Every structure is written in structure tokens, then in C-alpha cells.
Chains A and B, each alone.
Chain A
Amino acid sequence: MNNVKMPSYDVKQELEDMTVSLQALQYLPRWMLRETQEVMEKTKKFNREVIRPRSQELDQKMHEDPDYLPWDFIKEANRRGFYTLFIPKLFGGKGYNLPSLSYVLEEMASECASMANLVGVHWLGVATLTSSWNIRLMNKIMRDVAEGERKGEPRIISLAITESEAGTDVEEVELLKKARVGCHIKKVKGGRVLNGRKIFISNGHLSTWHMVIGYEDVNRPEKTMAMVAVRTGTDGFSFGGKEKKMGQKGCPASELIFEDCFIPEENVCFDGEQIDKFSRWLGQPQRSVEEYNSQVINYVLSTSRAGVAGFATGVARGAYLEALRFATEEEIGGKKLIDYEWVRCQLAEMYKNVALARLSYVETNYANSLYGMFRLLQWKPMFYFLKLAPQQFLDWVVSPVLNQEVVTKFFRNLYLEGQKDDEIQRTSGWASLSKFSASDLGMRNCQLALDIMGRAGVQFDQRAEKFLRDSKLLQIYEGTNQLNRLNLFDCLIGRDLPGVATFDE
């Protein structure tokens, strides 16, 4: 007789975890497919005309001159609209659906992960700004990005969260409690004063706007987290050096320095004071300040980790395609590589890795569409209204309304109060799953490509070695893969295990 007792779990939750895509499909507008095809065609053209011809050249240039900044690429991407493509039309953008961003990032990264980051990191900044649900500030900054596109002056957005003593810690509120953070935000008359340094800030030197995460009390960061928008050129803000990285060289990893940097009240995205006001307005908020902070972080990471999975899928695909090309062209040991059975099996393995990596981010995007950041925009009435409404109507009639405080309250009510705990867990858990799965699969494909290509694989001019260098970073940023595994455990496993605290051991 089998006396083994399995841990109890919530069957309904399990079913919902398993059927995210099935649940989402019935709600999603059919035009999303058409939109996705449109942006993919646009991206493939960009790949053909810009990324593939320039990717090796940029990498080599960065070897020669680590201080080089790829403004020409940024301007070209800006000219072609890649920095406003997914900004909702409400905020002056082109309003393509956000899940298609992952496909775009995959496509770009299949040629060059650096250049994909030069575009994709801007969307990490957009996601961060959006996660504050400060609609007035979103309207201001996103419309500034759109104006930059019209004027041919790129105004892209970065996220500044990592500090020299706090990398993994700032990605997870449970760890944030014990983090050694140093970026301090002080309330003063008319705004905030920011002091401290941020490191590893992708696109830092190239960005106009920086979404900076700081803390009102560095000894209680989990309770006093705040997000401010800092514009390049603000007094007290300067750039430090750029990191010398192994790969993704074209995308600078910058140090940002804040010395008594004054941030006007209007550029405070989110902080304890705003949460207090919001809580009082609600009367009976369902979450504490700490939990709201955690929720904001989760909104960012649930979308950005799907983006990293998009990069990783692209890298996996790029490595696969280089190996396939090589195998069909080159002979070794007296016959074409493609004529070896083991090579065919390796290529099949690589193809599978690409497909699985892609499926993982697609499922995460379905979760984000059902429960996360994309929810309202993909609600059919809203989707078609924004699709069909004349832009001038949105600019002249709707936009001024967005600047009213009540609109921010409405959105915070919808997105912060309206998101249930199990929905946070599902989006966050799936995002982590896709991030570490896809980046591990991407890395594996790069190694398999090198195996197939032999000595040619390590030569710069054969491109495969660059994919390998680029891919390693995907296992590190947006939380190391180890942290993402813990987050998956916390969200999708540990929730059913009473007494198991993920970050205590």
C-alpha cells in the first residue's frame, strides 16, 4: 500500500498555471496577429539594412575604442520609429501591442544582441515608468520620446537600479530588506534630492531619461523605495565610466552619479508619499507599502524578463543559423558536416531550443495579457478604440485628461489594487521561468554552434563567437538565473508549502 503523502496544493491554481494561453486567447483581439506580422516585417527590413551589415563592425569598434558611443545606430533606430512603436497612442506612440515587442527583440538579437539591447533597454525604461502607473508622468515622458522621434533627436529611457553593493538584492523585496544600498532620496521643498551612484546601467550614456530607483531610508529600503525620473543635463547628475564587458559591447553599461541632484516634484514617479495618498483615497488598501513596492518591481520584471527571453531566443536562433550555414557549406573529415548524423541531431536539438525558448516568452506574455501590464491595452474595446481613434482626438482631447490626478488614481486602483496575489505570482513566476529557460537554452545553442564549427567557431569573422560572448550576459541581468529560479519557486511552488520561506535558509 502506498503511504506516500504528496504536498497539498490548490487544484484551481494549478489549472490556471497550466492554461494561461488558453485562458488568454479568448480575450485577445484578432488584430494582434496582423500587428505582430507588421512589426516583424519592419524589423526584418531593419535587420537586413542596418543590423546585420553593422553588427560585427560595431563589436570590433568597441574592442578598439571602448569609449565609443553608437549614436549613429540610435539615430537610425529612432528614425525608423523603434522607440515609439509600442508606446500606446494615448501617449503619442504608434500603439503596437506589447507582446509583439518580444518577437521584435528576438528578431534583432538573432543578428546582434547588442543592437537588440540598444532598442530593447529603452522598453525596459518604458516598462519601469509604466509600473508606477503615474499616468501624468507617463504622458509627459512618452510624449517627449515621440517628439524626439519627430525632431530626429533620440530621447530614450533607461532604468537605473543596480548599485555596486546591491545587484541581486534590489531585484527582490525579500532580499532588499538586508541590502546595502546607497542611493538616497531626500524630500525637500518642491521635490527630492538624489545622492548616490548606479552601475551597469544599460544605455545610460545614450539615454535622455533615467528611471532611478532610490531609497528615502537606506536602512529600510524595502519600505522606502522611490522612483524618480532624471533627465540628462539635470544639475547634479553626471555620467561616470563605462564598463568593459565581454560581450554585448555595443550597448554601454554606464555609471550614473548623483550629487545633490534636485528632482522636481513633477518627476517623482512613485514613492511612499504617493502610496500614502493612494491608500488614504482607497480607505482600506489591501497591501502594505512594502507589498506595493514589491508589486511595482514585479510589474517591471514580469515584462522585462519576457524581453530578456526574447533576446535569448534570438541569440539561440542566430547561433543555430550560423551553425546550419557552416554545416551546409564546410567539409571536415572528408565530407560535409551536414552529412554527419550527429550534426543533424545537434541541429535538431538547437532548433528545439529556439522553439522552447520562444514558447516560454509567449506564455509569459499571455500571463501579462491576462493579469499584468498589458491587460487593459489588450481588452478588446480599449484595443479597438485606440486603434481606430484619430490621433488628433487622442492628443487634443484625451491627453489633457490624462494629466489629472484622478486618472492616475484610477489606473493605480485598476493595476495595483485590481491585481490579485495569485495573478502577481503567475506573471512573475512565468517571467522568471522564461528568463532562465531561454537564456540557458540560448547559451547552450551558442556552445553547440561552436562545437559544430570547430576552429572556425572561435574566429571573429564567423560570428558564432560573438553570439557566445553576448549570450552569457543574458544569464546574469534582470536577476541572475539563480535568483530567477528562487523567484519561480516562491511564486509557483512555495506558495503551496506552508512554513516554507523562499529566502530564509
Chain B
Amino acid sequence: MTDNFSEELKLLENMSRNFAENELLVSKQERDNYPFTSLDTSIFKKAEELGYFNLLQEESEDISNLASLAHALKILAKEDASLATAIFAHSLAQMTALQAGEGALLPNISGAEISYDRSDSEFANNSLPFVAFPCFDFPEEIAKGLTVRKQKGKYYLTGEVEYMVLGNLANWALLPAWMEGEENYSFFLFSLREDKVQMSSALLSLGLRACPVVELKIKDIEARLVGKSGEGINYYKAASELLSPSAAAISLGVMKGAFKEALEYSKQRIQGGREIINWSEVHMILSQMAIQCKTGEMLLEKALQECEKGSHGYSFSARTAALQLQEIACEVVSNGIQVLGGNGYMKDYGQEKRFRDAHQLKVLLGHHPLRKIAMLNLMENEEFRGL
């Protein structure tokens, strides 16, 4: 890590901490009421202004985009994982486009002028220059629900997507679909502001409620092929590996938030005549949480280092970090509630939201057990030898 990068990373971390503590924290409960209240887009706009949706487009030679993204998401997720997940979804779409050699698309997407409005008023009011992406599903599962028609060199998509992250907020969507005759799926980019796009009202999920999700129905919409046809699987594999540390970082942020709140509470709350931190069972739980957070930091840093260096087999480290932290986070947040007892279960405190968020984050990048099973198949002989 160069000195310049360290300095830039520190600045980004400071900015993220300020943003998280002064803005995210203050209004996170209200945002968490979505979809039972209207979507607060101001926080997305603010995040966009601060550059969180374009961290992967940074052109500074010294800064490592992957590390910047992961560190920023970790800090944001400590206060509110919803926004971090929204940034992640957009970034995964961006990274997929980058892997497809279509980096030039990204500034166009972000800056695109929208020349017409949909009749859907919430959409019209909310839409932002983001890319919606179904980051809780495997692309091959999504692709099964979509068909592509090719006519005169143009592509037209039809089908349904059950769980489209940022679908009612973004201007664009990136989706995988199978073209006839191809063995693997391809990625297509299209505007969500077409009338041929129908979307449900926002879906209610366990957690990450301020990261909006809708069901999408599209009918014969013109779409742009991203990269080469049939190569989507390779673009996504590379993109998801590179962003696995960022997925891990969001879970780690949630874990750290849970630990911080539990520790502070345990020093204040008195039961049995003393602060509960002085009961050794509570002390043990907190120590275990601290160890899990520290282990998480180490895993994340190791994964980021290998990704940055492009070390052989970095994908194994990256995926391990994501799988492991997504799993550990569920235990940490559960203990986070346990330390606070009944208070931890109530919305007056942050733990119940973290509990919900962590369990939902376990599915970020797709079905957790199947990703785990796929690990052995991904490993090459050399990686086996390294274990």
C-alpha cells in the first residue's frame, strides 16, 4: 500500500465516518420503516454527491478502488447496512460492466439525461443515476426468467425478475439473459424508465429495508448487450470475486456496530447489583464478539491484499471472507441482542435492525450454502496445496 493510497483511504474513511454518524445514524429508524413510509431519496442523493456510487470509477493511480469501496461500505454498514447494500448492488453492476470491457459505459450511465418520464409517480420522483442489479440471486437463476430476441442487430428482453434491488430507484438495470443458441448467459443493460417496464410496489423483506427492492416485469424492451454474448458468466464470476471483500465488509460493519452497542450498554446496565459487563458470562459473550470482529478484520484485509495484488488464487480468499463473515455476523448480531436483553429486541436500539440486516446479508451474492459448496470446485490444485 503506497503512502498516497493510505492517505486517500484515511480521508475516505473519515468522510465515511462523518457521513455515517452525522447523517445515516440520525434518520436510519425512519428509513427502516420503508416500504410503509415513502422512500427517503435524500440520503441516496447525498451518497451519490459524496461519490460512493462511483468509487469504482476513480482514476487515481494510487488508490485501490476495491479497498476504498470495502472500507467505505464497512464504515457505512456499522450505522446502516441498507445504504451500503444499495451501493454494493450498483457497484456490482459497474464491476460486471468493467469486466466486460465496457468501462466506458459507466460515465454515460451516471450522467445520462432522461428525456421522458414514466407514469409511475414514485419512480418519476425517485429515479437516480444508479444501476439496478439482482445481487441476492445467482445470475443463472435470473437468466432463466428472461428471454432475448435479436432483430436487425438489436436485442429485446422479455420476462420477470422476482427481486430487483434498486429497481424503483435506478434509471438503469443490468440483467443476465440467455440468447438462443448460446451455452451461457449474456448481460444486457436497459433503461428502467421505459413504459415496457412494469414494477410491483416495494417488497417487504427481513432486513435492509431502506435498500428498495421490487419485482420487475419487462416486455420486449430494447437492451444493449454488455460485452460479448455468452460471456456473462465469466464477467460475473470475476466481478463477484472482486467484490466479495466488499460483501464481507458490509457484514463486518454490522458486526462492529453490534459489538459497539453491546459493549456500551453492558457498561451502563446494572443487574444483580453491578454493571452487567462485570458478570463473567456477559464478559465472555462480549469477548467472543470482539474476537469475531477482529478475525473479520484480518480476513477482510487478507482478501483485499490478495485482490489488489492479483495474487494467484485471490478468489478463494475473497469468497472465503464473504462466506465466513456473512455467517459469523448472524451469530454476532444475535449475541448483540442477547446482551441488551429485552431492550435489544426493541426498535429503540440498533441491535434488532442489525439482526435482521445480518441475516439478509448472508444471501448477498446468492444462496449461501450453494456458494459454499461451489468453493471446492473453484479451487485449483495449487490452492489445495496452500491449505
Question: Contact residues of A with B, CB < 8 Å?
Answer: 60, 63-64, 162, 165-169, 175, 177-180, 200, 243-247, 332-333, 342, 443, 447, 450-452, 454-455, 457-461, 465, 468-469, 472-473, 475-477, 480-482, 485-486, 503, 505
A332 touches B282 (CB 8 A): no
Provide the bound-state CA to CA distance between A168 and B346, in Å.
16
Q: Knowing that A455-B163, A469-B206 are A-B contacts, what are 19 other residue pairs whose CB atoms are under 8 Å apart, sorted by A's residue number?
A: A60-B204, A63-B204, A168-B271, A169-B272, A175-B271, A245-B346, A246-B352, A332-B138, A332-B141, A447-B330, A455-B136, A455-B363, A455-B367, A459-B204, A459-B206, A460-B206, A472-B337, A476-B337, A476-B345
A454 touches B338 (CB 8 A): no
- Decide yes or no whether B111 CB sits under 8 A from chain A: no
22 A–B contacts from the bound complex (CB under 8 Å): A64-B36, A168-B341, A169-B272, A175-B273, A177-B273, A179-B271, A200-B342, A332-B141, A447-B330, A447-B359, A450-B359, A454-B363, A455-B366, A458-B360, A459-B163, A459-B205, A460-B204, A460-B206, A472-B345, A475-B338, A476-B337, A481-B338
Which of B188-196, B231-239, B368-376 is found at the contact surface with chain A? Answer: B368-376
Q: Which of B306-359 contact A (CB under 8 A)?
A: 330, 334, 337-338, 341-342, 344-348, 352, 355-356, 359
CB of A128, distance to nearest CB on chain B (Å): 18
Contacts of A64 in B (CB 8 A): 36
B281 touches A458 (CB 8 A): no
Contacts of A472 in B (CB 8 A): 334, 337, 345, 352, 355
Provide the bound-state CA to CA distance between A332 and B330, in Å.
23
Total A-B Cβ pairs within 8 A: 127
Provide the bound-state CA to CA distance between A309 and B255, in Å.
29
B346 touches A451 (CB 8 A): no
- Decide yes or no whether B280 CB sits under 8 A from chain A: yes
Provide the bound-state CA to CA distance between A458 and B367, in Å.
11
Chain A residue nearest to B282 (CB atoms) is: A482
Which among B203, B279, B334, B338 is the interface contact of A459 at CB below 8 angstroms?
B203
Contacts of B279 in A (CB 8 A): 505
Provide the bound-state CA to CA distance between A461 and B369, in Å.
22
Provide the bound-state CA to CA distance between A476 and B346, in Å.
12
B346 touches A244 (CB 8 A): yes
Q: Given A178-B272, A447-B330, A469-B356, do A458 and B207 touch, yes or no (CB 8 Å)? A: yes
- Decide yes or no whether B48 CB sits under 8 A from chain A: no
Which among A168, A244, A342, A481 is the interface contact of B347 at CB below 8 angstroms?
A244
Provide the bound-state CA to CA distance between A469 and B204, in Å.
14
B348 touches A244 (CB 8 A): yes
CB of A63, distance to nearest CB on chain B (Å): 5
Provide the bound-state CA to CA distance between A180 and B270, in Å.
8
Contacts of A505 in B (CB 8 A): 279-280
A454 touches B367 (CB 8 A): yes
Contacts of B273 in A (CB 8 A): 175, 177-178
Contacts of B36 in A (CB 8 A): 63-64
B206 touches A167 (CB 8 A): no
Q: Which of B128-159 contact A (CB under 8 A)?
A: 136-138, 141
Contacts of B280 in A (CB 8 A): 505
- Decide yes or no whether B31 CB sits under 8 A from chain A: no
A246 touches B345 (CB 8 A): yes
Q: Given A342-B373, A476-B342, do A468 and B136 touch, yes or no (CB 8 Å)? A: no
Q: Given A244-B346, A460-B205, do A168 and B272 touch, yes or no (CB 8 Å)? A: yes
Provide the bound-state CA to CA distance between A457 and B270, in Å.
37
B369 touches A246 (CB 8 A): no
Query: What are the 10 A-B residue pairs with the smallest beta carbon separation, nearest first?
Result: A178-B273, A454-B367, A465-B206, A246-B352, A244-B347, A460-B204, A458-B206, A455-B136, A175-B272, A458-B360
Provide the bound-state CA to CA distance between A167 and B281, in Å.
17
Contacts of A60 in B (CB 8 A): 204
Question: Contact residues of B with A, CB < 8 Å?
Answer: 33, 36, 136-138, 141, 163, 203-207, 270-274, 279-282, 285, 330, 334, 337-338, 341-342, 344-348, 352, 355-356, 359-360, 362-363, 366-370, 373
Provide the bound-state CA to CA distance between A308 and B342, in Å.
15
Provide the bound-state CA to CA distance between A452 and B372, in Å.
12
Q: Given A165-B270, A458-B359, do A473 and B345 touch, yes or no (CB 8 Å)? A: yes
Contacts of B363 in A (CB 8 A): 450, 454-455, 457-458
Q: Given A166-B271, A452-B369, A454-B368, do A476 and B206 touch, yes or no (CB 8 Å)? A: no
Contacts of B207 in A (CB 8 A): 458
CB of B260, distance to nearest CB on chain A (Å): 19
Provide the bound-state CA to CA distance between A135 and B317, in Å.
67
Provide the bound-state CA to CA distance between A177 and B271, in Å.
10
Contacts of B359 in A (CB 8 A): 447, 450, 458, 465, 468
Provide the bound-state CA to CA distance between A419 and B205, in Å.
50
Contacts of A332 in B (CB 8 A): 138, 141, 367, 370
Provide the bound-state CA to CA distance between A206 and B249, in Å.
44
Q: Given A168-B271, A175-B271, A447-B330, do A342 and B369 touch, yes or no (CB 8 Å)? A: yes
Provide the bound-state CA to CA distance between A480 and B342, in Å.
9
CB of B23, distance to nearest CB on chain A (Å): 22
Contacts of B272 in A (CB 8 A): 168-169, 175, 178-179, 503
Which among A246, A450, A486 is the interface contact of B362 at CB below 8 angstroms?
A450
CB of B52, distance to nearest CB on chain A (Å): 24
Contacts of B345 in A (CB 8 A): 245-247, 472-473, 476
Chain B residue nearest to A66 (CB atoms) is: B347
Contacts of B270 in A (CB 8 A): 165, 180
Contacts of A179 in B (CB 8 A): 271-272
Contacts of B204 in A (CB 8 A): 60, 63, 459-461
Chain B residue nearest to A459 (CB atoms) is: B205
Contacts of B362 in A (CB 8 A): 450-451
Provide the bound-state CA to CA distance between A443 and B367, in Å.
20
Chain B residue nearest to A448 (CB atoms) is: B369
CB of A46, distance to nearest CB on chain B (Å): 26
Chain B residue nearest to A175 (CB atoms) is: B272
Provide the bound-state CA to CA distance between A472 and B279, in Å.
22
B346 touches A243 (CB 8 A): yes
Chain B residue nearest to A450 (CB atoms) is: B359
Contacts of A465 in B (CB 8 A): 205-206, 359
Chain B residue nearest to A343 (CB atoms) is: B369
B370 touches A333 (CB 8 A): yes
CB of B144, distance to nearest CB on chain A (Å): 9
Contacts of A244 in B (CB 8 A): 346-348
Contacts of B285 in A (CB 8 A): 482
Provide the bound-state CA to CA distance between A64 and B33, in Å.
9
